A and B are shown apart, each in its own frame.
Chain A
């Protein structure tokens, strides 16, 4: 089975721009979660989608949004980028039913200048 794929792997954007990151889950997985990883804050949960519905949300501003398509692929969007948004963004997929487990992609490294 192919693993979780994320595109692009690296991205450089300028403050004020917006960005869209993409995640393709493992075949058959219906849940996709997004995380932000930074050296200072560690792994922080952004949101989780299950069958195209946002089921869980972390404590991030509204500039961070996401969606999930009928084929379970997911996108994450960040508008009005700030320097502090520079991070590794990780996507994880899972069955979305007990016993819950998640499988991570390699991440997208976003640098905001």
Chain B
């Protein structure tokens, strides 16, 4: 079946530190992969996506590369800001099952000034 596993949080970093949030997936086919971000009291915002192996998604300084050989889609940012504090969700969509999405449990990021 399909599933997404994220690293446990919370992750606490100082401003300008390097960020990595690990995400691995299990899928029966070749899914599309996504990172979403949720700020307190809000819904999820699409941060970036990759639709096939070796694709790199990027947005607002965040990057993630679709690695089929390691079934991973780790989120990285070179220099985090206090405003990046939020919960980050990794997700996959099952192309063979239309629009069914599978989400990880979320990783809370706290960035201190």
Chain A residues with CB under 8 Å of chain B are 4, 6, 31, 33, 42-43, 45, 48, 50, 55-56, 90, 92, 94, 96, 98-107
- Please give the distance in Å from A89's CB to the nearest CB on chain B: 10
Asked if A103 meets B51 with Cβ closer than 8 Å, knowing A45-B101, A96-B98, the reply is no
Q: Which residue of chain A lies nearest to B105 when distances are taken between CB atoms in the complex?
A: A42
Contact of A55 among B89, B98, B103 (CB under 8 A): B98
CB pair A107–B99 under 8 Å, yes or no, is: no
Could you tell me if A103 and B46 are in contact, using CB atoms closer than 8 angstroms?
A: yes
Query: Is B46 within 8 A of A101, CB to CB?
Result: yes
Do A90 and B43 touch (CB < 8 A)?
yes
Least distance between A56 CB and chain B CB atoms (Å): 5
Decide: A100 and B42 in contact? CB cutoff 8 A: no
3 shortest interchain CB distances as A-B pairs: A104-B43, A100-B93, A104-B44
Query: Which B residues are CB-close (under 8 A) to A98?
Result: 32, 51, 95
Give min CB distance, A96 to chain B, whole Å.
6
Q: Is the interface of A mostly helix, strand, loop or mixed?
A: strand
Give every chain A residue within 8 A of B100 (Cβ-Cβ): 45, 48, 56
Whole-angstrom CA separation of A56 from B93 in the bound complex: 12
Complex: A12 Cα to B56 Cα, angstroms = 43
User: When each residue 17-58 of chain B gets 1 if its CB lies under 8 Å from chain A and 0 otherwise, what string results?
Assistant: 000000000000000101010000011111001010000000
Please classify the interface of chain B as helix (H, G, I), strand (E, B), loop, or mixed, using the class held by over half of its residues.
strand
Taking a contact as CB atoms closer than 8 A, the residue among A48, A90, A104, A106 that contacts B99 in the complex is A48
Q: Mark B77-108, 1 if CB is under 8 A from A, else 0.
A: 00000000000010001010111111101100
Across the interface, which residues of B come within 8 angstroms of A104, CB to CB? 36, 43-46
CB pairs A–B below 8 angstroms (27 shown): A4-B43, A6-B43, A33-B99, A33-B101, A42-B103, A45-B100, A45-B101, A48-B99, A55-B99, A56-B97, A56-B98, A56-B100, A92-B101, A96-B99, A98-B51, A99-B93, A100-B32, A100-B93, A100-B99, A101-B46, A101-B49, A102-B93, A103-B46, A104-B44, A104-B46, A106-B43, A107-B43
* A99 with B51: CB separation less than 8 A: yes
